[in-house]
Amino acid sequence: MEVVPNDAEESTEAVEGVHLSLLAGAEKMNVQHFDIEPGAEVPEHSHDHEQAGYITQGTLTFIVDGEEIDVSAGDSYVLPGGEPHAAENRGDERVEGVDIFSPPRENPDWQD
């Protein structure tokens, strides 16, 4: 069994205001913590990985096929692999949560 405390991994600023920390991982999935500052945006992207997540603080607005979907603290979500999506923190507080990727994902393709 592997245990990785959130503060054990250094956060990376993938794009301005979006901080990611890779946490526990295995052969078929991994966990990533995210912290998104007010006004920050994750650009539209897609990936082969299935993505399931849970918001612990704030509200994150996903944009999927032109539809805006608000996901708030206590909500979970799933994105199938290959589905283009973006996300924005339109609120006044940080958005925090976790994502699980299968297969494991280390570096987002929108980081550059």
pLDDT digits (tens, 9 = 90+) for 70-102: 999 999 999 999 999 999 999 999 999 999 999
Q: How far is CA 96 from CA 2, 28, 43, 53, in A?
A: 22, 24, 17, 11
Angle CA 11–12–17, to nearest 5: 100
Tell me the pLDDT tens digit for each residue of 4-49. 887 777 888 999 999 999 999 999 999 999 999 999 999 999 999 9
Hey, what CATH topology would domain 38-107 get? Jelly Rolls (2.60.120)
